[in-house]
Chain A
């Protein structure tokens, strides 16, 4: 594998964005915002702790789904961007596996998670380990009884959709949700890292 994770993070973490004269950030084919992690965590945490226990899983599915769609569309925007072409594309030898390793490095550069692929069986299974991620931050004391990294679950599944789910479909009706992700470990649960296992849906 020719992907130089450190170089990707060094280069792409320096790409900064800010609202234009309209207060909008149109990049990677989407409108982007840069908000405090507390906002996203706050809504997910309060929602999952306010719903009745029998509705918790349904709420979690919706939170994961938001990230799944975001990861699919923004992920495609990233891997077709000029920044990707100049920094990551020259390192790619094997498609789509190197693209996946590069995309997970971009995940780190964007501040979503200090993560890497621990295992990859092409088209079948991907295991991502995240050693630091903002969704673990709400557990400032003790251990959560269940994993809470809904965003990372969705994004990991989306990256496998992009790699093995067929051509990108901007409507999301074909290539999206061909994979699903389960979080098997979480820093928020007291584990040393978060672990995300992606398999065909």
Chain B
């Protein structure tokens, strides 16, 4: 598949950057990992799940728009576009290695969140990439015409724990 040219625009009156028609902002790994840490530490509610759900909802809308705009009809085209968007957004190098409407697997070869976490605080045992868990739920929902809430994502191995790659398992609930 030919790489997608993602659209950019700047509205000088409002000082807003639009990427693929959506207001978008630059943030650094300090911000994204502190949001992640906030979710991880929060004892008031399941904030890890909340962060993953917000990611799933947000990226599902983005990916569905990209699919419509580029007339992507097959699961392979849709997954390739999602992987490309993930890297373009600066989240890392993500590869879906197997996918069907009911389940699949993905690996993360480079990771903004994991590598940002290690730079800031060093490695740790438990996974931290709740944002990518949500992103993958969105990828599968968009690829197979489902809803992001239908997919559960588990992170089995993590770059943040010293592994070479992070590994995710995706299943329809």
Do A74 and B30 touch across chains, with their CB atoms under 8 A apart? yes
Q: If the complex has contacts A39-B58, A42-B57, are A23 and B24 also in contact, measured as CB distance less than 8 A?
A: no
Among the listed A14, A23, A25, A36, which residue makes an inter-chain contact with B22, where contact means beta carbons less than 8 Å apart? Answer: A36
Among the listed B24, B30, B47, B50, which residue makes an inter-chain contact with A73, where contact means beta carbons less than 8 Å apart? Answer: B30
Cα A31 to Cα B32 with chains together (Å):
10
Do A66 and B38 touch across chains, with their CB atoms under 8 A apart? yes
On chain A, the residues within 8 Å of B109 by CB distance are: 22
Cα A109 to Cα B16 with chains together (Å):
8
Cα A149 to Cα B173 with chains together (Å):
36
Could you tell me the distance in whole angstroms from the C-beta of B111 to the nearest C-beta in chain A? Answer: 8
Q: Mark A80-109, 1 if CB is under 8 A from B, else 0.
A: 000000000000000000000000000011
The interface-forming segment of B69-77, B87-95, B140-148, B163-171 is: B87-95
Among the listed B12, B15, B112, which residue makes an inter-chain contact with A24, where contact means beta carbons less than 8 Å apart? Answer: B112
The interface-forming segment of A55-63, A119-127, A140-148, A192-200 is: A55-63
Any A CB within 8 A of the CB of B27: yes
Contacting B at CB under 8 A, from A169-188, are none
Could you tell me the distance in whole angstroms from the C-beta of B6 to the nearest C-beta in chain A? Answer: 8
Could you tell me the distance in whole angstroms from the C-beta of B4 to the nearest C-beta in chain A? Answer: 12
Q: Mark B10-28, 1 if CB is under 8 A from A, else 0.
A: 1010111101001111111
Any A CB within 8 A of the CB of B34: yes
Q: If the complex has contacts A23-B110, A52-B44, are A36 and B12 also in contact, measured as CB distance less than 8 A?
A: no
Could you tell me the distance in whole angstroms from the C-beta of B2 to the nearest C-beta in chain A? Answer: 17
On chain A, the residues within 8 Å of B12 by CB distance are: 9-10, 13
Q: What residue of chain B has the Cβ atom nearest to residue A107's Cβ?
A: B15
Q: Mark B25-65, 1 if CB is under 8 A from A, else 0.
A: 11111111011001100101101001100110111011000
Contacting B at CB under 8 A, from A1-60, are 9-10, 13-14, 16-19, 21-25, 28, 30-40, 42-43, 46-47, 50-52, 55, 59
Q: What is the number of residues of chain B that contact chain A, defined by CB distance less than 8 Å?
A: 52
On chain A, the residues within 8 Å of B91 by CB distance are: 19, 23, 33, 35
Any A CB within 8 A of the CB of B105: no
Do A18 and B25 touch across chains, with their CB atoms under 8 A apart? no
Cα A54 to Cα B112 with chains together (Å):
34
Do A134 and B90 touch across chains, with their CB atoms under 8 A apart? no
Q: What residue of chain A has the Cβ atom nearest to residue B110's Cβ?
A: A22
Among the listed B26, B39, B44, B54, which residue makes an inter-chain contact with A17, where contact means beta carbons less than 8 Å apart? Answer: B26
Could you tell me the distance in whole angstroms from the C-beta of B26 to the nearest C-beta in chain A? Answer: 5
Cα A25 to Cα B62 with chains together (Å):
20
Cα A24 to Cα B91 with chains together (Å):
6
Do B27 and A33 touch across chains, with their CB atoms under 8 A apart? yes
Among the listed B25, B31, B51, B87, which residue makes an inter-chain contact with A23, where contact means beta carbons less than 8 Å apart? Answer: B87
Any A CB within 8 A of the CB of B119: yes
Residues of B within 8 A of A (CB): 6, 8, 10, 12, 14-17, 19, 22-32, 34-35, 38-39, 42, 44-45, 47, 50-51, 54-55, 57-59, 61-62, 86-94, 109-110, 112, 115-116, 119
Listed by A's residue number, 23 A-B pairs whose Cβ atoms lie within 8 Å are A9-B12, A13-B17, A22-B87, A23-B94, A24-B110, A30-B28, A31-B112, A32-B28, A39-B54, A43-B39, A43-B54, A47-B45, A51-B45, A59-B44, A62-B34, A73-B28, A73-B30, A109-B15, A111-B23, A111-B24, A111-B25, A111-B26, A114-B15
